[in-house]
Amino acid sequence: MATKKTKKETESSAPKATAQAQTAPTAQQPAMGQPATDLNIGDLRNIALVMDVASTRGAFRANEMATVGLIYNKLQAFLAKVAPEPKPEEAAKKTENPVPAGR
């Protein structure tokens, strides 16, 4: 005759390694109670790109566009202020040696 396992018995027979793996923080996941604070300029540029793509695809309603545009403009102004400016030598090299068209 088959015996019925209780819920406790089936839980205790589950491998313990998976439970430990689920609770252990990874390199990308902050430890419990610690907020992720590693936001950088690249992340802000990606946010602006997502906002641009979303508005192009019609993800925002008409009454939301002013707010989204205001935030987008503030983000772009901030990025322009904090982004490292290209060195004059690098800009000159790009214009001196243009790639010929058709090659």
Domain ranges of the chain: 38-83
pLDDT computed for residue 2 by the predictor: 57
User: How would residue 3 be classed by pLDDT, with cut points 50, 70 and 90?
Assistant: low
User: How would residue 86 be classed by pLDDT, with cut points 50, 70 and 90?
Assistant: low
Judge whether residue 81 has pLDDT over 70: yes
Q: Which two structure tokens, joined as six digits, stand for 75?
A: 């983000």
The Cα angle at residue 23 between residues 22 and 29, in degrees rounded to 5: 90
Judge whether residue 45 has pLDDT over 60: yes
